[in-house]
Each structure stands twice: as C-alpha cells, then as structure tokens.
Amino acid sequence: MKRGERLGDLGEDEVVARLLRGFGTEGLLVGPGDDCAVVDEGRGPLRLLKTDAIIEGVHFLPTAAASQVGWKAVARVISDFAAMGGRPRHVLVTLAVPRDREWTWVAGLYRGIRRCLEKHGAVLAGGETSGLPEGAPAMISVAGEGVAERGKCITRGGGREGDVIGVTGRLGGSIAGRHLTFSPRVAEGGHLAAAGVSAMMDLSDGLAKDLPRLAAASGCGYEIVTEALPRHRGVEAAGALGDGEDYELLFTAPPKVWHALVRGWPEGLAPITAIGRLTKEGGSLEGGWDHFK
C-alpha cells in the first residue's frame, strides 16, 4: 500500500478487496463478494443476508418523488435476493436525514418502502433514524434477510466454459426514471434457479462492469454479441453496456438448460435473451458504474 493512494486511483473492486483482507468466513456458505451472504443453519432453507444504501445526489436526485426513493431503497436489496434465486423475508431500515427536511418527505419515503415490502411479501422488522446537519444529503440503508431453497441458491461462481450468457428484460437508459420504478425479478430468479442455471447476479453497475465480475468469479472469460443486447427504445449499445441500474438478471446456463428455458419460459415473466458465451479466457468490456472512479 502506497502512502497517498486515493480511492479514485484504486476503483471500487480493489477497495473492497483490500477491506476484506484478514476477515474470516466461518459459518458462511457464501461470504463477501457475491450478491448476498448465505448462511446454512443445517436445516430448512438457506438464509440470505444483504445490505445496501442509497445516497441523495448519488442514487437519486433531490427532486425525485420520496415514495419512489423508498421503493428503490428496498427494491435494490430484493433484487439481490432474486439474483441468488431467493425471496425476501425481513428488512431493517436506517434513515439518516437532515434536520431541515420536511416531514412529508419522510412520510412519502416510508409509503414507498411499505408498498415495495407488501408487493414482495416482506416485513419491516426495525431500523434506526439519525439526524444530519441542515442541507446534508439524505441516506437510506436497508439490511435484509431472505431465504433460498437448498440446491437452488445460485452464486456468481458456478459458470463454466461454453455456458450461454443470458439476461432478463431490456437494458440501458435507466436514468430516464426506471432506476426509481423497476420491479425486482424475483419470479424470474426463482424460475432460473429451479431450471438449473449455473451462475447469476443482478445488473446494478452495468453489463460492462458486472459481466467481467461474474466471469472472473467463475474462472472464465467471456464473449458477447453486441447486436444481440436487448435494449430499451432509443438506447444505443453503449448505453446497454454501461448505463447501469438496470436491475435485470445476468445469468449463465449450460446449452441444454438454455434450450429448455427457451421452450418452457412462462408467460408473464420478463423475456430472456442470449447475448454470448463463457469462454476459457478473454473478454475486454470496460465501463459501467464505479463508486470511486
């Protein structure tokens, strides 16, 4: 470690890797580095643990509707449960807000939190509130507990050379408002896990950032067909790769599993699209969101 190194020089992945050095993972089936931590208590479903935070001016603008901010704060955590093939059960909400913020904003925030929890069958189990100096940006942190069935909990590290790379839904252009209103792909994640996909994660930092992470966790390279990327109307390929905050599911599947998925994909779920394959090595995507770059 060099004196004077700045976080912006390192990037988010390197910062996280350094922070985790020296910590044990005793008692964890899956530790830090995946969408959720996984705890195996020896019986019943596996427990999923996740925490996430959104900050005013970074994840939402001061002009955003408070109810949509509340929805997003919870939906981000639920999206990570979906990426493991799981579903949410309980959340804890920590709110840090400036003293001069109007009560109606806080009330709207919790209306959005409640709406998201009710839609996905989860419960607010508690939390914390803290005041900030006047004019400071608000911060909402959500810690959640979920469950996944044994044998159907999918990590980022199970992909193998030759697996098809797929995504749910469409990508790009989230800044138009979708980052505040997206629906976590819980049903899709459960169906993919039950079908036997090999690896999965949610797309929060953009495909160009997250696909290399999944490939690295799986010990593989990757190749994609840019023309195959499913995009929202008006979005160019660069936006589909790098805009971020899509909250779709990125997954890999052996070819036989992929073909079975295509034949039997249920109506009413977000569509799935093949965009490439895992390879022995290689891949050169750059871009996406990095908190410290």
pTM of the model: 0.95
Which pLDDT belongs to residue 289? Answer: 85
- Give the sign of the dihedral formed by CA 231, CA 233, CA 237, CA 243: negative
Which pLDDT belongs to residue 4? Answer: 79
Pairing of strands 123-132, 37-39: unpaired
Which pLDDT belongs to residue 48? Answer: 98
> In DSSP terms, which residues pair with 231 in a beta bridge?
171
Tokens representing residue 289 in the block: 């969101």
Domains of the chain: 7-148 (3.30.1330.10), 164-279 (3.90.650.10)
Question: Do residues 212 and 274 lie in contact, with contact meaning Cβ atoms separated by under 8 Å?
Answer: no
Question: Do residues 46 and 150 lie in contact, with contact meaning Cβ atoms separated by under 8 Å?
Answer: yes
Which pLDDT belongs to residue 291? Answer: 85
DSSP H helices, the chain, are 7-10, 12-20, 66-83, 103-119, 178-181, 186-195, 207-217, 237-242, 255-264
Question: Do residues 128 and 235 lie in contact, with contact meaning Cβ atoms separated by under 8 Å?
Answer: no
- Among 211, 241, 249, 223, which Cα is nearest to 161's? 223
Question: Do residues 103 and 52 lie in contact, with contact meaning Cβ atoms separated by under 8 Å?
Answer: no
Buried b (16+ CB within 10 A) or exposed e, 213-241: bbbebbebbbebeeeebbbbeebeeebbb
Q: What is the mean pLDDT of each run of 10 residues along the chain (293 residues)?
A: 83 91 90 95 94 97 98 98 98 98 98 98 98 97 98 97 98 96 98 98 97 98 98 97 97 98 97 98 91 81
Question: Do residues 192 and 254 lie in contact, with contact meaning Cβ atoms separated by under 8 Å?
Answer: no
Which pLDDT belongs to residue 1? Answer: 58
Question: Do residues 221 and 280 lie in contact, with contact meaning Cβ atoms separated by under 8 Å?
Answer: yes
Tokens representing residue 150 in the block: 């044994």
- What are the percentages of helix, strand and coil residues in the chain, rounded to 5? 30, 25, 40
